[in-house]
Amino acid sequence: MQPDPDIQTVSKGYNCKLCDVKIPNEASLEAHMKGKKHQHLCRLRTKRKAQEENSVYVSGFKPDTSTSKLAEYFQQFGPVSEVIMDKERSLYAIVEFAESVSTEAALTQLQHRLDGLKLRVKPRERKEFKLASKGKHDRTKPHISLEKLNHELCLTSSVNEQMQKMVEIFQLSENDSKARELLVQLLQEVFIEFLPGCQIVPFGSSVNTFGSHSCDLDLVLDLENTKAFQNRTRKSEETAENQSEDGQSEDSILSDIDLATASPAELLELLAAILRKCTPGVHKVQTVSSARLPVVKFSHRQLNLQGDITINNRLAVRNTRFLQLCSGLDSRVRPLVYTVRFWAKQKQIAGNPSGGGPLLNNYALTLLVLFYLQTVSPPVLPSVEQLKNMACEEEECVLDGWDCTFPSQPISVPPSKNTDDLCTLLFGFFTYFSKFDFPGSVVSLRAGRVLPITDFLSRDDELSDTAESSDTTRQNPTIRPKLGPVNILDPFELHHNVAGNLTERTHKNLRREFCEAEKYCRSLQYQHKSSKGKSWGLVKLLAPHTEGPSGSHDAIEKVPEITVPFRADILSPSFRTELSSAGEAFRVLWFKKVCSTLEVVFNDILKCAPSEHVEISQDQTSAKEDTKDEEVNNNQSLDISCHQPIAHSGIKRPLAMEEGPSSSSSPQGKRMRLEPSADYPEVAHWNWTQIHPVWAGRRKIRRVLLKTSDETSKPEGGCSSIESRVTQYIIENDSNPKEKVQFRVDAAVRGSDECTKAVLTFKATDDPAGHFQDFFHFLDSFLPKMVETLLAKSE
Ligand code: UTP
């Protein structure tokens, strides 16, 4: 059989590129090629090709111009067989001639005029013929089913091979890249007509070597040259009125807008108008001005691509080059990134479907992988700082004040001494981040190490250690990264936390998935191919996230535990400054504040009576032992209904923590365990008593009280005075005080090799009527929010 360009020989038979089908053997191939579908597509392709060659693209006519008027005009070059008008706006048309000579004649004529307007007549865009069945290549759907992927992965013989397979399966195909190139070319041609000198530059996954079939096309419209052009034109117009440079400004859109002073919103509207009115195949154009970087989104019908255009976003183009460089530095980078990206997508922790959202974006996730490769021993990748020092003078690059210097070619960077295989590195990645204190640290690819969060808490010196350029520090003295539960600094734009969009919930999920993955990677099932045909290696790791309350087993063996996460972003400025000078001891300093805040919540807001405060002690185990010997003072708890401010040891003791070193032994004479650099306790515990159902019906009472107060509506736990009044109301209206609930709270601070948080463990010590469960249930949602509210106000 003659070699056919549509037919590709693959490992298991053939692939027909035209029909997008796999054919197992030669006999079936022959039948396929004679078959109806293949023949039909061949005819259709020939027809389309002829249509493309015989047609021209026309724009610049009046919006009310009819197709017959256009046909009439173009008849002068030869018989016109069809005129297809842009349906949405009637602003461009495809004029198809019966013969290709007419097309040539129309294209060679220098000027076309209709109804007094100059027409633009261009060759019609040549599109690669794609399978007619629309929707088959829906980019929102995976191009390979999970079963198929699992099957392919199981055919390999090691995790290393599986990871290589991930790249093979998901990387952009030649056609995918071609489609993107075509779209860039089309946009460049259209935009340059209106914005002389402008440049459309792709960035992100389409070009960073980590792209996949479904990724969108991120583009930057660089208007620097256009601005210069506009300046020159304006100057020359001032000297010689109506004389235009290169004839370009005559009907240019530039006469309506001053690029130097236009707002991002105005520029976006301009782009949107060009896309809507003048770009063939483009639809669903939408401007998003509220994004961190305002963007125009659009889709291209025939190429089945979604695109985003931002303006003058040179940093993104540069950080894309950085990702490309990292990918070229070591062959293990791509398989790791592809595997981690797919894993994160499956677990619903990355890849916000429509841009904004609380999940990690793929850029941030990729930076996490690169960061791990910088920190592993020996490192696979150098830090950005080290890369900078490997660059030569010509490679120096400063954008918007940020130093973006790194070598342009991998050859300038010495190869890594790390010899770990992919399987080990992936395991290492999960292990590293399963124990990572995300809220209490800042990931810095620039430094190639973790920076303490305290470097970023104070008001104006936060950039001094990390910013490379003194210009930068001068330009942005008060801008710091938006801190959140996860802090990953951009390698160049050092005041940008690329994970600043994450919420506490997504952080929790992220952490859970890292732990699950780490646990699985420790198993033999991960490391060895199953000889019994069971799934192994990546297959189980990449299984989709299953819904359910963060592990249904949690519900069964739920320990009455509440955590108060460390959240730098909600702390008052003065407290942040205080923490920033505490170094590693910031955790205990924060914990101390949480403890005194907890007392305010239990004592002042929920009006619990302290039974007896059990002193701060070495650790939770010894603290628990103490309770056995304790005698709880019930009388105190009964006093509470009198609404008297209560003076008791229970409130006072934690304040004694502030006494610092001198309070380093408990009344029982035990030595407190101290952090190496701080004279603060790590654990604290209290016993409280409550005899009123302060947990019941609060929402309704709050609503009623809010109606009669000046307070603006706040969520539960959002306002201490309202919450105190709600409690008060419940107590005053409780005609029948029930039996008491006595409970113990143990608090401990965690951090360093896990997330910084205060963990509160609850235990009912006396609960004859069985109210504790209800009380705890209420505290579970109320307490963290209330503590946060108070911490935010705390000076
Ligand atoms: P994405 O997160 O979309 O990454 O950011 P991606 O690699 O293109 O992945 P897809 O599109 O989800 O498959 C796109 C680009 O935007 C810039 C980076 O250049 C990144 O490559 N970017 C993104 C930033 O500069 N800062 C950010 O915080 C996020």
User: How many CA atoms, within 13 angstroms, populate the side-chain half-sphere of residue 377?
Assistant: 2
Q: Give me the mean pLDDT over the 34-51 stretch.
A: 84
Element holding 775 (H helix, E strand): helix 772-793
User: b/e map of 449-476 (b: 16 or more CB within 10 Å)?
Assistant: ebbbbbbbbbeeebbeebbbbeebbeeb
- Residue 726 CA, chain-centre distance (Å), reads 39
Each residue's pLDDT tens digit, 758-773: 999 999 999 988 899 9
Q: CA 633 to CA 765: how far, in whole Å?
A: 12
Quick one: 517 and 620 in the same domain? no
The pLDDT-based confidence of 465 (bands split at 50, 70, 90) is very low
Q: CA 154 to CA 530: how far, in whole Å?
A: 9
Q: CA 515 to CA 507: how far, in whole Å?
A: 12
The pLDDT-based confidence of 130 (bands split at 50, 70, 90) is low
The pLDDT-based confidence of 21 (bands split at 50, 70, 90) is confident
Ligand 1 atom at shortest distance from the alpha carbon of 366: 7
State both tokens at 154. 């199981």
Alpha carbon separation from 692 to 168, 663, 739, 758 (Å, rounded): 65, 35, 8, 27
Highest mean pLDDT among 222-231, 350-359, 441-450, 464-473: 441-450
| CATH number, domain containing residue 444 | 1.10.1410.10
Q: CA 313 to CA 400: how far, in whole Å?
A: 10
Q: Residue 740, SS3? A: coil
Q: Give me the mean pLDDT over the 29-41 stretch.
A: 86
Regarding the beta carbon of 218 and ligand 1, being less than 6 Å apart is answered yes
Q: Give me the mean pLDDT over the 192-206 stretch.
A: 94
Q: CA 451 to CA 453: how far, in whole Å?
A: 6
Q: Which of 158-167, 241-250, 548-557 comes out lowest in average pLDDT?
A: 548-557
Angle at 458 between CA 454 and CA 461, to 5 degrees: 100
Residue 124: pLDDT above 60? yes
pLDDT-above-70 percentage for the chain: 81
Regarding the beta carbon of 205 and ligand 1, being less than 6 Å apart is answered yes
Q: Nearest C-alpha to atom 23 of ligand 1 is from which residue?
A: 363
Distance of CA 366 from the midpoint of ligand 1 (Å): 9
Q: Nearest C-alpha to atom 29 of ligand 1 is from which residue?
A: 363
Q: CA 102 to CA 55: how far, in whole Å?
A: 9
User: Measuring CA to CA, which residue among 678, 480, 476 is closest to residue 585?
Assistant: 678
E strands in 164-311: 199-203, 217-222, 282-288, 295-300, 305-311
Strand duo 757-766 + 561-565: pairing: antiparallel
Q: Which of 80-94, 160-174, 587-601 comes out lowest in average pLDDT?
A: 80-94
Quick one: 608 and 486 in the same domain? no
User: How many CA atoms, within 13 angstroms, populate the side-chain half-sphere of residue 64?
Assistant: 1
Q: Nearest C-alpha to atom 14 of ligand 1 is from which residue?
A: 204
Ligand 1 atom at shortest distance from the alpha carbon of 355: 3
Distance of CA 320 from the midpoint of ligand 1 (Å): 8
Regarding the beta carbon of 204 and ligand 1, being less than 6 Å apart is answered yes
| Phi, psi angle pair for 749, to nearest 5° | -100, 140
Q: What is the pLDDT of residue 208?
A: 97
Ligand 1 atom at shortest distance from the alpha carbon of 320: 19
Residue 18: pLDDT above 50? yes
Angle at 190 between CA 189 and CA 196, to 5 degrees: 80
Is 351 a member of any domain? yes
Quick one: 487 and 373 in the same domain? yes
Q: Which of 128-142, 284-298, 450-464 comes out lowest in average pLDDT?
A: 128-142
Is 114 a member of any domain? yes
Q: Nearest C-alpha to atom 21 of ligand 1 is from which residue?
A: 204
Of the residues 123, 146, 174, which one is the last residue of a structural domain? Answer: 123
State both tokens at 783. 């307490």
Q: What is the pLDDT of residue 38?
A: 84
Regarding the beta carbon of 208 and ligand 1, being less than 6 Å apart is answered yes
Pocket test for ligand 1, best of 177, 203, 210, 218 (most atoms within 8 A of CB): 218
Q: Nearest C-alpha to atom 28 of ligand 1 is from which residue?
A: 498
Cβ neighbours of 391 (radius 10 Å): 16
Residue 644: pLDDT above 90? no
Pocket test for ligand 1, best of 361, 369, 488 (most atoms within 8 A of CB): 361
Regarding the beta carbon of 498 and ligand 1, being less than 6 Å apart is answered yes
Domain that holds residue 591: 561-793
Distance of CA 503 from the midpoint of ligand 1 (Å): 19
Q: Which of 246-255, 509-518, 615-624 comes out lowest in average pLDDT?
A: 615-624
Regarding the beta carbon of 216 and ligand 1, being less than 6 Å apart is answered yes
Q: CA 3 to CA 759: how far, in whole Å?
A: 69
Of the residues 123, 158, 179, which one is the last residue of a structural domain? Answer: 123
How far the first Cα of the chain sits from its last, in Å, is 84
The pLDDT-based confidence of 652 (bands split at 50, 70, 90) is very low
Q: In what order do the strands lie in the sheet with 683-690?
A: 561-565, 757-766, 741-750, 683-690, 609-610
Does the model's pTM come out above 0.85?
no
Distance of CA 427 from the midpoint of ligand 1 (Å): 25
Is 766 a member of any domain? yes
Is 159 a member of any domain? no
Quick one: 463 and 568 in the same domain? no
Pocket test for ligand 1, best of 213, 363, 368, 495 (most atoms within 8 A of CB): 363
Each residue's pLDDT tens digit, 715-758: 788 888 999 999 999 999 988 877 789 999 999 999 888 899 99
Is 721 a member of any domain? yes
Q: Which of 140-154, 265-279, 588-602, 646-660 comes out lowest in average pLDDT?
A: 646-660
pLDDT-above-90 percentage for the chain: 53
Q: Give me the mean pLDDT over the 634-655 stretch.
A: 29
Quick one: 616 and 750 in the same domain? yes
* Mean pLDDT taken over the chain: 82
Is 724 a member of any domain? yes
Q: What is the pLDDT of residue 35?
A: 87
The pLDDT-based confidence of 557 (bands split at 50, 70, 90) is low
Quick one: 568 and 524 in the same domain? no
Residue 661: pLDDT above 50? no
Specify the length of the chain in residues.
795
Residue 620: pLDDT above 80? no
Quick one: 496 and 413 in the same domain? yes
Regarding the beta carbon of 723 and ligand 1, being less than 6 Å apart is answered no
Regarding the beta carbon of 172 and ligand 1, being less than 6 Å apart is answered no
Q: What is the pLDDT of residue 459?
A: 54
Q: CA 37 to CA 45: how far, in whole Å?
A: 12
Quick one: 576 and 722 in the same domain? yes
Is 64 a member of any domain? yes
Regarding the beta carbon of 361 and ligand 1, being less than 6 Å apart is answered yes
Of the residues 541, 576, 592, which one is the last residue of a structural domain? Answer: 541
Cite the DSSP H helix spans in 156-263: 159-170, 174-194, 224-239
User: b/e map of 195-221 (b: 16 or more CB within 10 Å)?
Assistant: bbbbebbbbbbbbbbbbbbbbbbbbbb
Tracing tokens 């003048």 back to the chain, one arrives at 278
Distance of CA 318 from the midpoint of ligand 1 (Å): 12
Quick one: 436 and 479 in the same domain? yes
State both tokens at 729. 């109301």
Residue 664: pLDDT above 80? no
User: How many CA atoms, within 13 angstroms, populate the side-chain half-sphere of residue 51?
Assistant: 15
Is 294 a member of any domain? no
Cβ neighbours of 558 (radius 10 Å): 11
Quick one: 574 and 492 in the same domain? no
Ligand 1 atom at shortest distance from the alpha carbon of 351: 12
Q: Nearest C-alpha to atom 18 of ligand 1 is from which residue?
A: 316
Q: What total of structural domains would you count in the chain?
A: 3
Quick one: 496 and 617 in the same domain? no
Alpha carbon separation from 752 to 436, 443, 675, 756 (Å, rounded): 7, 13, 12, 7
Each residue's pLDDT tens digit, 677-712: 344 457 899 999 999 999 999 989 988 888 877 777
Ligand 1 atom at shortest distance from the alpha carbon of 319: 19
Distance of CA 184 from the midpoint of ligand 1 (Å): 17
Quick one: 576 and 529 in the same domain? no
Residue 388: pLDDT above 70? yes
Q: Nearest C-alpha to atom 7 of ligand 1 is from which residue?
A: 205
Q: CA 676 to CA 674: how far, in whole Å?
A: 6
Tracing tokens 């900078």 back to the chain, one arrives at 388
Q: What is the pLDDT of residue 142?
A: 63
Regarding the beta carbon of 61 and ligand 1, being less than 6 Å apart is answered no
| CATH number, domain containing residue 98 | 3.30.70.330
Ligand 1 atom at shortest distance from the alpha carbon of 316: 19
Each residue's pLDDT tens digit, 508-523: 999 999 999 999 999 9
As beta bridge partners, residue 296 has: 287, 309
Regarding the beta carbon of 675 and ligand 1, being less than 6 Å apart is answered no
Per the model's pLDDT, the better-predicted residue between 274 and 559 turns out to be 274
Q: What is the pLDDT of residue 676?
A: 35
Q: CA 652 to CA 645: how far, in whole Å?
A: 13
Q: CA 588 to CA 680: how far, in whole Å?
A: 6
Q: What is the pLDDT of residue 141?
A: 56
